[in-house]
Structure 1
Amino acid sequence: MNFPDKYRVLLMVWLLQFVNYLDRINLSIAAPTMMKELSISPGLFGFVLAAFTFGYAVAQIPGGALADRFGAKCMLIVSPVLWSFFTGATGFVSTVLALIVVRVLFGFSEGLSNGASFKSIGDYFPPQERSTANGAYLSALALGPAFVAPIAVWFLIHTGWQGMFRWLALPGLAMAVLVVFLIPSAKAPRPFAAADSAESASHSGSGSGFGEVMRLPRSWIIFTAYLAFNIAFWGYLGWMPSYLSMARHIDIKTLGFAASIPYFAGTVGMFVFGWLGSTVLYRQRCVLIAAIYLCTAVCLYVTYNVDSAFNSIIGLSAAGFFLYGGFGPLWSVVLDLTPETSRGAFSGFVNCGGQIGGFFAPIVVGWIVGKTASFTGGFIFMNVALAVAAVCFLLLHTLMRSQQPTALASGRTA
């Protein structure tokens, strides 16, 4: 039986994202050991965590533009080759400065593939399937950390943190080879192309391309929303293992499995809310996203107020369910807001905003932990950011309803 191109593309970008997060989350797992062996304070290690997001942010728009210019497949080959090299290189550093430089280059290498992946989803899936497709694709964001935590802890115990990074450089190289053979070189004509063009023109106010879309207020609203969301996301992703180890006193052998549970909950959330964003709540995606972020804030509040490690893992798992759940609906809205010819660049623009938030989050959380010897202030910081993101999406929903009454009546408003 012939496997449709869209599902083959979805499988490959999922695998790429999975391996991407295998390499990305290693630093968080190794953080307590690396801080001890390299004599790095929590405040300084916040800059190490932020180094990745700096490089990742810088690569977003050029990576997306290159995907628009040369095709998504090209960038989906180049990026994993580069990030695998710098994953391995992390295992050879011996100073904080070298570690920061390598992580910046690693982040830049991973960032080159992001716009290409979202462009692939937009190119192969029609508008009303994109929330589900993005939810499925981005489930790798949760499953990657969930599976790598026990694996990384095993390597950490048996080979040290240096060996962990060196060994886990290999999967990315294998993915580059698979992309060469399994992703189509050029996409076939799509039966939904005309409707998709009308959709993007309706949402963007014109079909003239990236420049026109960038001049619209809604583009900057979603940029700001994703920036605020990523303060919470990267604060959660970067510091959760350290929080369980340092604040809840979970030993290293247990840490790998304890840190996996919230990510599995996040995977479930991605499929649940991705499906809702493509079906019964398709017209209300922005409201759905705002509600998800507010529920995440409530769960984080519960997490830092409970009195046991077990209950904190439950709170973190509930937060992960909602935190990851918003990705599918969010990126379906992003893909609907721009013409096909600029899809990679606009996705990169939005994600650049996200990585700006992601850059500052671990620095601020690390500074707060270092100054107060407590994670409470870090949780409050993330909750405020989630509230800002929720307000932005409610504003975006109101703006799109007021400006697109025709689209709303036909059931095609985000």
Structure 2
Amino acid sequence: MPAASPQSARRTVRITIVLLFTAWLVDYADRLVINLILPSLGAEFDLSRGQQGLIVSVFFLAYALCQIPGGLLTDRYGAQRITLWALLAWSVFTALTGFAWSFAVLLVMRFAFGAAEGIFPPASLKVLVERTTPEERMGANGLIMSSNALAGVLVPIVVAPLVAAFGWRSAFFSTAALGVFVLVAIRMWLPAPLPRTEPERTTAGRRAGGVLRMGVIWRFSAMMFGYSMIVWGLNTWVPSYVGEEYGVPLASVGALVAIPALAAAGAIVIGGRLSDRFGGQHRKVIVPSMTVTAAALLLMSLSTSLTGFVVFGTLASVAASLCYMPILAVPLGGLAAEDVGVGSAVIILGGQVAGMAVPPVIGVLADAFSFRVAFASLMLGAAIATVMALLTPQDAASFRTASGASDLPVPAKEHS
């Protein structure tokens, strides 16, 4: 296949970034809506904090279970096709959640929604890999994944007034409609993949099951677990905490939550740029950033004022968000292109296990002790991410050696 012209390649990258950014924005908005309406669900269905946390975690249970199957489906049937099916399915189950009439139905709908969204991340990453060069990949992915933090800004600002005016069910109907819009946009405008310039693996036996047996990739998954402990512990319970502890009304909670989310969006982009600049070397970012995160979480949990809580919470969010792209950089550079679906699924799985476990645990700790104890416990996530950053290869070539894939040709850039 002839190489694409520089202008055509740049256009492909730009359009891909815009479409995937929008898809991830809707994806994250759909899952964040539940955090804002937990108090409403608790009141309507008479739920404890532990039960409210279970509504969040059941999504992550299904999401986690579907990561690796999603990667396998992506590698077998194509990234674009699986992306479209994921968008359609999760939009349907988001809309159906708006019709829930009991706690049990909520659990079923959130599980189905999580399964539908669970096949999306590996497909999305492979869509990006097929349409970018290795040198620009992390920067592009940083821009795309900043949509997650931006969703954290927009959802509270937009959804809180919507829920106040029309009730919690309206939030699900609105985000489902957005999902359908993005589905049509990707179907119509996603460019074709760029011609392959990266080495292909010739030993097919190392695909799928071979990737799952790579001990090194599970260490990156554990690193993502530590990072996600912090993210989902804060995202799930901060809205409830500031409402209960400081009497902040729901509409104002949206504005407060938007502050750290907006700062985190910028940090994710910066983390992607740093990954490209360092050529991996994630410990250079993760170790200092997670040290700051742990200190900020401790100060946040000890703060007795709303201002202090928001300031230290914002610092924790920014420092942690710098680490997201560096966690992915080395594996995505070291995996063969045909293994990116499964490999990325393994890493993302660690984050979803955290999303499944942390919300109910934080809820139980808050019920048994206090929110201060619960938030302080998130320092464990910073410790896990730091340790795993020290125990993993720091560049793509070292990753291939550690994974037993050193027989792959090394791109010319790595020889220089």
Q: Same fold (TM over 0.5)?
A: yes
Q: Which residue of 1 aligns with 2:4?
A: none
- Find out whether 1:193 has 2:181 as its counterpart: no
Amino acid at match of 2:334: L
1:166 and 1:252 map into 2 onto residues whose CA distance is 19
- Find out whether 1:179 has 2:186 as its counterpart: yes
Change (3 A) 1:147 1:403: closer
Once the two structures are TM-superposed, the CA of residue 207 in structure 1 deviates from its matched residue by 9.4
Q: Which residue of 2 aligns with 1:338?
A: 335
DSSP 3-state at the match of 1:396: coil
* 1:52-96 deviations in Å (ceiling 9; x for gaps): 101111111111111111111111111111111111111111211
Q: Which residue of 2 aligns with 1:245?
A: 243
- Residues 286 and 330 in structure 1, CA contact (< 8 A), matched pair in contact too: no
Q: Which residue of 1 aligns with 2:3?
A: none
Task: Determine what percentage of the aligned residue pairs are the same residue.
Answer: 26
Which of 90, 94, 97 matches 1:87? Answer: 94
Q: Which residue of 1 aligns with 2:19?
A: 12
1:90 and 1:216 map into 2 onto residues whose CA distance is 38
Q: Which residue of 1 aligns with 2:377?
A: 381
Q: Which residue of 1 aligns with 2:386?
A: 390
Which of 116, 123, 136 matches 1:109? Answer: 116
Once the two structures are TM-superposed, the CA of residue 183 in structure 1 deviates from its matched residue by 1.0
1:248 and 1:404 map into 2 onto residues whose CA distance is 53
Q: Which residue of 1 aligns with 2:176?
A: 169
- For 1:282-293, list aligned pairs within 5 A: 282-293=279-290
Change (3 A) 1:365 1:211: same
* 1:220-254 deviations in Å (ceiling 9; x for gaps): 21122222322222112211211221233322221
DSSP 3-state at the match of 1:82: helix
DSSP 3-state at the match of 2:265: helix
Change (3 A) 1:66 1:206: closer
Which of 45, 55, 59 matches 2:66? Answer: 59
- Structure 2 alignment gaps of length 5 or more: 1-6
Once the two structures are TM-superposed, the CA of residue 137 in structure 1 deviates from its matched residue by 0.9
Change (3 A) 1:353 1:403: closer
DSSP 3-state at the match of 1:56: helix
- Residues 48 and 99 in structure 1, CA contact (< 8 A), matched pair in contact too: yes
1:27 and 1:402 map into 2 onto residues whose CA distance is 38
Once the two structures are TM-superposed, the CA of residue 323 in structure 1 deviates from its matched residue by 2.0
Amino acid at match of 1:68: D
* 1:357-406 deviations in Å (ceiling 9; x for gaps): 2110001001111112x112222321112201210111114798699699
- Find out whether 1:363 has 2:360 as its counterpart: yes
Q: Please report the TM-score for the alignment, with normalisation by the length of structure 2.
A: 0.89
Amino acid at match of 2:198: A
- Find out whether 1:43 has 2:50 as its counterpart: yes
2:324 and 2:188 map into 1 onto residues whose CA distance is 28
- Residues 210 and 338 in structure 1, CA contact (< 8 A), matched pair in contact too: no
- Residues 29 and 241 in structure 1, CA contact (< 8 A), matched pair in contact too: yes
Amino acid at match of 2:386: A
- Residues 128 and 278 in structure 1, CA contact (< 8 A), matched pair in contact too: yes
Once the two structures are TM-superposed, the CA of residue 342 in structure 1 deviates from its matched residue by 1.4
Q: Which residue of 2 aligns with 1:145?
A: 152
- For 1:223-302, list aligned pairs within 5 A: 223-279=221-277, 281-302=278-299
DSSP 3-state at the match of 1:247: helix
2:134 and 2:205 map into 1 onto residues whose CA distance is 16
DSSP 3-state at the match of 1:124: coil
Change (3 A) 1:247 1:335: same
- Residues 154 and 258 in structure 2, CA contact (< 8 A), matched pair in contact too: yes
* 1:183-239 deviations in Å (ceiling 9; x for gaps): 13x42313x324xx5xx99xxx99943433333331121122222322222112211
Q: Please report the TM-score for the alignment, with normalisation by the length of structure 1.
A: 0.90
Q: Which residue of 2 aligns with 1:303?
A: 300
- Find out whether 1:118 has 2:114 as its counterpart: no
- Residues 61 and 345 in structure 1, CA contact (< 8 A), matched pair in contact too: yes
2:101 and 2:280 map into 1 onto residues whose CA distance is 52
- Residues 209 and 339 in structure 1, CA contact (< 8 A), matched pair in contact too: no
- Residues 247 and 375 in structure 1, CA contact (< 8 A), matched pair in contact too: no
Once the two structures are TM-superposed, the CA of residue 138 in structure 1 deviates from its matched residue by 0.4
- Residues 138 and 275 in structure 2, CA contact (< 8 A), matched pair in contact too: yes
Change (3 A) 1:340 1:246: same
Amino acid at match of 2:25: F
DSSP 3-state at the match of 2:246: coil
DSSP 3-state at the match of 2:304: coil
Amino acid at match of 1:86: F
C-alpha RMSD of matched pairs (Å): 2.6
DSSP 3-state at the match of 2:377: helix
Q: Which residue of 2 aligns with 1:317?
A: 314
Once the two structures are TM-superposed, the CA of residue 126 in structure 1 deviates from its matched residue by 2.3
1:403 and 1:339 map into 2 onto residues whose CA distance is 9
- Residues 52 and 103 in structure 1, CA contact (< 8 A), matched pair in contact too: yes
* Worse overlay, 249-258 or 123-132: 123-132
- Residues 72 and 119 in structure 1, CA contact (< 8 A), matched pair in contact too: yes
